[in-house]
């Protein structure tokens, strides 16, 4: 009974939250600004935490494992229920193709939907990355002088602003929107870490080739020859001027630090 009560409570509360988010966008300029703020870090982090972490945590604290199980069940049930409601309300006014139908045609309906539900298991992984971005990078920035970033330029969602995305397509595209930003931001931070601490190419040429996309400056890294002299010389050359971003970063475009065109974008002296 505890599981059912908890599941129903979470289902109703999350549906109410989702409906509230849809309504707030229609409350004039103040509502639009508030909605936009919720779609970017740090408020997006709070919103996603409320929707993903808070129910299970509260359920466990109140009713131990039955509460936890019920909360997870309620969260999972929210997705198809919200999709059904949203598509019934919006579908008639949104003509055109649907991504889900094309995907079902290519791989089969049950394969497509089963794979989507498997992807939900990645939520804890992306939360671990996000927590690392929030808690671990700032000390490195303070200790080593790494670049500051306005995190909302990476961690945000915006696909809901495209017309034609409804129900199933919308909710899964927003999920990917969130994951992609976190992954890209983690990669940006890791490039700074790698170039600073170990600017040495991998001995395995295949690994260098595979990592080239995520580490575009890999060709600038040193190739040790019996000693680390090339790596030490490269480090001194790249970091002697105080610039601590990865070698190919746009931050390095000027000797004065942040290029003027980036001052109001991804790099912000007041950011984390």
In this prediction, residue 269 carries a pLDDT of: 38
In this prediction, residue 93 carries a pLDDT of: 59
Instruction: Yes or no: say if 24 and 36 are a contact pair by the CB < 8 Å rule.
Output: no
Half-sphere exposure of 116 (CA within 13 A, CB side): 21
In this prediction, residue 163 carries a pLDDT of: 83
In this prediction, residue 8 carries a pLDDT of: 97
Instruction: Yes or no: say if 148 and 204 are a contact pair by the CB < 8 Å rule.
Output: no
Query: Nearest 5 degrees, angle CA 116-CA 165-CA 39?
Result: 85
In this prediction, residue 97 carries a pLDDT of: 82
In this prediction, residue 90 carries a pLDDT of: 77
> Which of the residues in the chain have pLDDT under 50?
254-270
With residues binned 3-state (H G I as helix, E B as strand, rest as coil), the percentages for the chain, rounded to 5, are: 70, 0, 25
């Amino acid at each position: 009974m505890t599981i059912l009560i908890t599941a129903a409570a979470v289902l109703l509360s999350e549906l109410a939250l989702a409906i509230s988010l849809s309504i707030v966008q229609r409350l004039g300029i103040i509502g639009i600004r508030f909605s936009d703020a919720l779609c970017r870090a740090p408020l997006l982090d709070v919103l996603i935490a409320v929707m993903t972490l808070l129910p299970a945590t509260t359920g466990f604290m109140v009713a131990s494992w039955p509460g936890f199980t019920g909360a997870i069940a309620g969260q999972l049930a929210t997705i198809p229920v919200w999709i059904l409601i949203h598509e019934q309300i919006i579908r008639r006014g949104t003509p055109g193709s649907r991504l889900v139908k094309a995907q079902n045609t290519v791989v089969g309906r049950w394969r497509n939907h089963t794979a989507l539900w498997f992807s939900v298991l990645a939520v804890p992984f992306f939360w671990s990355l996000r927590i690392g971005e929030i808690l671990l990078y700032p000390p490195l920035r303070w200790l080593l002088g790494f670049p500051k970033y306005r995190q909302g330029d990476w961690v945000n969602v915006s696909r809901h602003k495209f017309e034609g995305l409804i129900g199933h397509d919308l909710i899964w595209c927003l999920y990917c929107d969130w994951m992609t930003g976190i992954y890209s931001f983690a990669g940006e931070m890791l490039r700074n870490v790698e170039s600073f601490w170990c600017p040495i190419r991998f001995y395995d040429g295949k690994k260098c080739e595979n990592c080239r996309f995520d580490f575009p400056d890999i060709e600038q890294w040193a190739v040790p020859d019996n000693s680390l002299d090339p790596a030490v010389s490269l480090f001194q050359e790249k970091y002697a001027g105080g610039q601590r971003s990865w070698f190919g970063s746009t931050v390095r475009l000027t000797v004065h630090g942040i290029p003027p065109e980036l001052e109001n974008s991804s790099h912000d002296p007041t950011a984390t």
